[in-house]
Amino acid sequence: MPKTEVILTHNIVGLGAESDQVKVAAGYARNYLFPQRMAIPLTMANKRQIESLRQRRAEREAHEFNTMSELAKGVAKLICIIKVKAGEDGKMFGSVTAGVIADELKHQFDITLDKRKIHLEHPIRALGDHEVELHLHAEVKGTLKVRVESLTPVVVPVPAVEPKKEEGREPRREKHSHTKRDTEGKKPEKAEAAEAKPKGEKPARTEKAEKVDKAPKAAKAHKAEEAEKPEKPAKGE
């Protein structure tokens, strides 16, 4: 296939920038580059335009550098949220690619970014936050925070928490009823104390109560003694 030399008048990714002299297929130049005014034939007359093309290229690159630097600062503050389908265990159905991120940037923030500037070593296949590197310019790089969320709620199992045992304390004993025997056949303490006393035995009386009871008995005995004594004869008889 015959080749021809051309001078590029516009930046063409993968081919060159303004003022570059490149060789391309003759048919490609004739059918695309020349009609689109993206290149001109390499001739002595056209070489005079190279200097002006270089100046235009420098202005374009400076403008792109400033624009991409500002974009890198703005994108670093954003969180691009992408909703995906996932199972209840959080496993994604599919993956998030650079094209998906570029579409969401346009949809959410009205930022137009070539997906080739979004650098992913491999597609995102897990929920959560991810740092994505951006190659915005030859001298400008940035990062974008991408948060992948599930369209369906993810069920997170809650681990069972065992009750803490208090150190130095004995387990609390169950209180037994005073009227019923416990399961081991033991009787309550009050019931045992009541059975230990013999039936018919009266409780011991206090010393004060005994003195009070003896006082009327002593008075009666004294009166009886006085009645039994013989009467003394009257004087003069």
Report the candidate in 176, 201, 173 with the shortest Cα–Cα distance to residue 190: 176
Q: How many separate domains does the chain show?
A: 2
Q: What is the pLDDT of residues 172-195, one digit of tens each?
A: 665 554 544 444 445 545 545 445
Q: What is the pLDDT of residues 107-160, one digit of tens each?
A: 999 999 999 999 998 999 999 999 999 999 889 999 999 999 998 765 555 666
- Residues ≥6 apart with Cβ < 8 Å to 154: 86, 88, 89, 90, 127
Whether 224 maps to a domain, the answer reads: no
- Hey, is 182 helix, strand or coil? coil
E-strand stretches of 18-113:
21-25, 39-41, 79-84
What are the phi and psi torsion angles at 178 (to 5°)? -80, -10
Contact 95, 129 (CB under 8 A): no
Contact 55, 119 (CB under 8 A): no
Least confident of 44-58, 64-78, 178-192: 178-192
88 and 24 part of one domain: no
40 and 93 part of one domain: no
Contact 129, 146 (CB under 8 A): yes
Whether 195 maps to a domain, the answer reads: no
78 and 144 part of one domain: yes
Least confident of 12-16, 160-164, 231-235: 231-235
Q: Provide the 8-state DSSP code for 185.
A: S
Host domain of residue 129: 72-150
Whether 126 maps to a domain, the answer reads: yes
Whether 177 maps to a domain, the answer reads: no
pLDDT given at position 237:
41
CATH number at residue 7: 3.40.5.10
42 and 91 part of one domain: no
CATH number at residue 145: 3.10.430.100
Buried/exposed 198-217: b ≥16 CB within 10 Å, e otherwise: eeeeeeeeeeeeeeeeeeee
Whether the predicted pLDDT of 65 surpasses 70: yes
Residue of higher predicted confidence among 198 and 85: 85
pLDDT given at position 53:
93
- Percent of the chain at pLDDT exceeding 70: 64
What spatial distance separates the first Cα and last Cα of the chain, rounded to whole Å?
Answer: 191
Contact 90, 150 (CB under 8 A): yes
The pLDDT-based confidence of 214 (bands split at 50, 70, 90) is low
Whether 108 maps to a domain, the answer reads: yes
Whether the predicted pLDDT of 86 surpasses 80: yes
Whether 178 maps to a domain, the answer reads: no
**109, two tokens:** 């923030």
